[in-house]
Amino acid sequence: MFSIFNIFENYTLTIALAGAALLGSISGITGTLAMLKRQHLTVNLVSYAALPGIAIAFILTDTNSHLIFLIGAMLTGLLAIVQISPLIRKKRGHQDRILTFILSVFFSLGIVLFTFAQSKPRAAQAGIETFFFGQPSVALMSDLKIIAVIALFLSIPLLLFWKELLITAFDPVYAAASGISAIKIEAVFAAILIGNVAAGVQTIGVMLMGAMLTAPPLAARQWTNNIRILLFLSALFGMLSGIAGSALSYHIQGLPTGPAIIVCAGLITFLSFFFAPKRGLCFVYFRSKSEQASAGLEAILEVLYTLSHQHTDKDFYGHPYSVIQSIFPLKTNTYTILSELCTKGLAVQTGRNEWSITPEGKKYMEEDLRGYVK
Amino acid sequence: MINAQMEIILTVCLTAIACAIPGVFLIFRKMSAYSCDINHSVLLGIVAAFFFVQWIDSPAIVFSAGIVAIVAVLFVEKINKTRLAKKDAIAGIVHPFMLSAAVIIISMFASRVSIDIDAALLGELAFTPLNRLQIMGYNLGPMALWQIGGLALLNIIFTFIFYKELKLSIFDSGFATTAGFAPKWIIYGLMVMVSFTSVAAFEVAGSIMTAGFIIGPAVIASYFTKRFRNLFFIAPAVGVISCLLGYKSAYLFGISIAGMIMTVMGAIFFLTFLFVPGMGVVAKTINKIKLKMEFSINILLVHLWQHEILGDSARKNSVDSVSVYLNWKSDFTESIIKQSMNEQLLGLNTEGVLFLLPNGKIRAQNILER
């Protein structure tokens, strides 16, 4: 559909892709912090709160300047965070319900202000839906510059307070004990969040910006336990979905940018859920299967071992299948387990439908399962 | 035209009532975010149904949307059980993903799917009277009115029949299980109720505001009462009041009705949060100041009483030394002394030493005896 050469030939596309990539990667990093702090609802609140800010900026200035919209978005985002900050310390259920409600109120306020703005005679052509789902990816150089400047500004507090942010996210009690001011770090995080949301509102839209901050770290989390790799992967996934989404929306007529990016991010997340090593659902499924099999192996061997104590007079006393099955009725096929034991040399088939444990098997049980078998 | 207005008001009030009832259960089940998530997924169900049924008021659409919403919620529950991620994080991507898919379908196949994104997200309340239910040629009023009215009735009946079960499942699901109530299925029933209410309210209020319609009245009502049963009367009342006020102001300014209703509800919440007696911020602050004053007076009285018994009151009970011994700032000490004098608890003699009046003595003794 599109080749790498195509990107550099086409100036508009290059700009759009660069903007989306930059935005995706900073969202990945901010989102990781939000995920560690478990503040998904706050993220959503700040992004919804951008809508009335944009509307107010639009009504007051009556221009179409993106910079002014962003300032408006930041101001209402700040207002939203300040408004909920006393509630954050409350009980969790209590906090959730008020956050959800305030989120909805901010959105409605935005709608009301927009319909008000559109009823004015000199209203510009900016429709509401461009802010819901982002603009088509005919981005301008000025947009890219704005995103780049915000990214630069976000990196300063991130680098300065990196250690404090991490400690507070992982262990707030320890952070407080080591003299890190919780309010200061909350404020730094809020500033980063507000800046990031403002940068993304133009491209991804108010309704989906929250998902842009949630998806990449969630996907990255499935692949690693290391915080550095987590951040790197999260930024990478954010960047990939940004690039893929905006490229798709550029090439397919009428495809809105924001949803395209979120669908890409969502697909990456779902793929990670299923196929990530160690944590992914497929891996867990196969591991539990193989664990079940080996557990069955040891269980049957234990049965043979215990049975062999009944017949100490003879070395290879064959025990009938029905006896083994009745002592340990496994869901898995006892025949296959027995034949596997035979190939491993731990058991031996002494007759038709009769098995016995070998000296190796006894040794295995006595050495490896000393704690369990008496 | 007056008739049409009445119809709009009636529709929106019924929506508020239908939404407020499951909302009460949701906020106490700590599932309030659920109302917001479900509204993201509903759109995909509506769009999907459109491909097969090209008729906007088909019951098939309501069913399809409700089922998609429930599937989305079950999917989130399923992944949550694997402990790969926190529930709100999973919901934070699954539901926007479905919303994005719906928006993409709408914008790619706009000719086949005749839904306006604006209308889907904001509701088209002003146009509800245009779409009428007609049976055998009789005009029975707006379709939306019947739909939401029926759901409000269903919700009320459901709550009435399963009130005990729902209450028990929400507050003590462990006990509900031992008592044989199957709280899991009751909660699923609640989810189904919320899904279908959301779908029906979707047309009236739009996506995000439906969440507010569900949560808002219940949140506000929870400030007014501590009795669970009362919530079911206060929450719908709050909803209806904000509908009436919101409709009036939206009509005056010519702006989005559903948006204005939610804004009014937000304002009511803000006022409640500040001023409601007992639980509001102002009441709490006043109560705190009162308690502080009372406690300080008690301390002062005990201090004076002790030193009057010991007999060193001349040295320790002067105004200056009180503030030194009790470690109070001098203006705070003065205000406490003034307050106690007003209450006839103590007096000041000519040498600047405080002494207890009979009332004060009794109160100090009472405190020490406690």
Return the higher-pLDDT residue of A10 and A259: A259
pLDDT band at B243 (very low <50, low <70, confident <90, very high): very high
Q: How far apart are CA A26 and CA A23, in angstroms?
A: 5
* CA-only gyration radius of chain B, Å: 30
In chain B, the percentage of residues whose pLDDT exceeds 70 is 89
Find the domain containing B365 and state its range.
283-369
Predicted local distance difference test score (pLDDT) of residue B183: 82
Do residues B264 and B289 both lie within one domain? no
Q: pLDDT per residue over A193-219, tens digit each?
A: 998 988 888 888 888 888 999 999 999
Q: CB-based contact (8 Å) between B107 and chain A? A: yes
Q: Which of A153, A202, A154 is nearest to A51 (CA)?
A: A202
The confidence score (pLDDT) of residue B112 equals 61
Averaged over B20-27, what is the pLDDT?
Answer: 90
3-state secondary structure chain A: CCCHHHHHHCHHHHHHHHHHHHHHHHHHHHHHHHHHHCCHHHHHHHHHHHHHHHHHHHHHHCCCCHHHHHHHHHHHHHHHHHHHHHHHCCCHHHHHHHHHHHHHHHHHHHHHHHHHHHHCCCCCCCCCHHHHHCCCCCCCHHHHHHHHHHHHHHHHHHHHCHHHHHHHHHCHHHHHHCCCCHHHHHHHHHHHHHHHHHHHHHHHCHHHHHHHHHHHHHHHHCCCCCHHHHHHHHHHHHHHHHHHHHHHHHHCCCCCHHHHHHHHHHHHHHHHHHHCCCCCHHHHHHHHHHHHHHHHHHHHHHHHHHHHHHHCCCCCCCEEHHHHHHHCCCCCCHHHHHHHHHHHCCEEEEECCEEEECHHHHHHHHHHCCCCCC
Q: According to CATH, where is 1.10.3470.10 located in chain A?
A: 4-279
What is the CATH classification number for the domain harbouring B352? 1.10.10.10
At A79, list the tokens.
């207002």
Q: Which residue, A48, A23, A45, A49, is CA-closest to A34?
A: A45
Token couple for B64: 């399809």
Task: Note whether B201 and B254 are same-domain residues.
Answer: yes
Q: In chain B, which among 263-282 make CB contacts under 8 A with chain A?
A: 263, 265-266, 269
Residue partners of B342: CB distance under 8 A and separation at least 6: none
pLDDT higher than 70, residue A140: no
d(CA A282, CA B176): 35
Q: Is B90 close to A262, i.e. CB distance below 8 A?
A: no
Q: In Å, how far is A208's CA from the nearest CA of chain B?
A: 6
Average pLDDT for residues B91-106, to the nearest whole number? 87
Contacts for A349 with CB less than 8 Å, ≥ 6 apart:
A318, A338, A342, A355
Using one digit for the tens of pLDDT, what is the confidence trace for B274-283?
A: 888 877 788 8
> What is the CATH code of the structural domain delimited by A284-368?
1.10.10.10
Q: Is B261 buried (19+), middle (13-18) or exposed (0-12) by CB count in 10 A?
A: buried
Which candidate in A100, A109, A257, A261 is best for mutational testing of the B interface (most B CBs within 10 A)?
Answer: A100
Residue A213: per-residue pLDDT: 92
Domain co-membership, B294 together with B264: no
Q: Do residues B160 and B304 share a domain?
A: no
Distances in Å between the Cα of B296 and the Cα atoms of B211, B312, B336 are: 47, 21, 7
Asked if B57 and B136 sit in the same domain, the reply is yes
Contact of A137 with A16, CB cutoff 8 Å: yes
User: Which residue type occupies B312?
Assistant: D
Question: In this complex, is the C-beta atom of B94 within 8 Å of any C-beta atom belonging to chain A?
Answer: yes
Q: Are B92 and A214 inside 8 Å of each other by CB?
A: yes
Residue in chain B nearest A44 by alpha carbon: B92
3-state secondary structure of B348: strand
Last residue of a domain, one of B276, B302, B326: B276
Same domain, yes or no, for B151 and B252?
Answer: yes
Judgement on whether residues B225 and B249 belong to the same structural domain of the protein: yes
Q: Find how far residue A24's CA is from the centre of its chain.
A: 14
What is the average pLDDT across B245-264?
A: 87
Residue from B27, B42, B100 whose CB has the most chain A CBs within 10 Å, to mutate: B100
Q: What is the mean pLDDT of residues A246-252?
A: 84
Residue B43 above 90 pLDDT?
Answer: no
Gap between the Cα atoms of A193 and A191, Å rounded: 5
What is the number of structural domains in chain B?
2
Rounded CA gap, B2 and B7, in Å? Answer: 9
Q: Read off the pLDDT band of A1 (50, 70, 90).
A: very low
- Say how far apart CA A95 and CA A86 lie, in whole Å: 10
Residues B299 and B155 in one domain: no
The answer to whether A281 faces chain B, any CB pair under 8 Å, is: yes
pLDDT, residue A7, reads: 53
Structure tokens at B27: 């906020």
Query: Per-residue confidence at B291, pLDDT binned at 50, 70, 90?
Result: very high
Q: What does pLDDT average to over chain A? A: 80
B245 — pLDDT class (breaks 50, 70, 90): very high
Tokens at B236, concatenated: 């719908």
Q: Are A265 and A241 in contact (CB under 8 A)?
A: yes
* Domain end marker among B251, B276, B301: B276
Is B269 in the same domain as B296?
no
Residue B355 is given by DSSP the state E
Q: Which tens digits make up the pLDDT trace of B120-134?
A: 677 666 667 766 766
Q: Does residue B304 share a domain with residue B179?
A: no
In this model, does residue A107 exceed pLDDT 80? yes
Q: Are residues B107 and B236 in the same domain?
A: yes
What's the mean per-residue pLDDT of chain B? 83
Predicted confidence band at A266 (pLDDT cuts at 50, 70, 90)?
very high
In the predicted model, is pLDDT for residue B78 greater than 60?
yes
Question: Using 50, 70 and 90 to split pLDDT, how confident is the model at B348?
Answer: confident
Label residue B203 left, alpha or beta by phi (over 0 means left) and psi (-120 to 50 means alpha).
alpha
Best mutation site among B93, B264, B284 for testing chain A: the one with the most A CBs within 10 Å? Answer: B93
Q: So what's the pLDDT on residue A374?
A: 46
Instruction: Check: CB of residue B199 under 8 Å from CB of residue B249.
Output: no
Please state which of the ranges A15-24, A365-374, B293-302 shows the lowest mean pLDDT: A365-374
Confidence (pLDDT) at A239: 93
Give the whole-number percent of chain B exceeding pLDDT 90. Answer: 15
Query: Of the candidates B225, B258, B276, which is a domain's last residue?
Result: B276
Residues of chain A with CATH 1.10.10.10: 284-368
**Euclidean distance between CA atoms A124 and A131, whole angstroms:** 14
For residues B353 and B323, membership in a common domain is answered with yes
On the question of pLDDT at A238 being above 60, the answer is yes
Tell me which of A4 and A298 has the higher pLDDT: A298
Please report the pLDDT score of residue B152 as a whole number.
92
Mean pLDDT value across residues A285-301: 78
Class of domain A4-279: mainly alpha
Q: Sign of the C-alpha dihedral, residues B102, B108, B113, B114?
A: positive
* Identity of the residue in A101, A207, A273 whose CB atom sits nearest the CB atom of B215: A101
Mean pLDDT of B42-53: 79
For residue A220, the model assigns a pLDDT of 92
Query: Does pLDDT of B239 surpass 90?
Result: yes
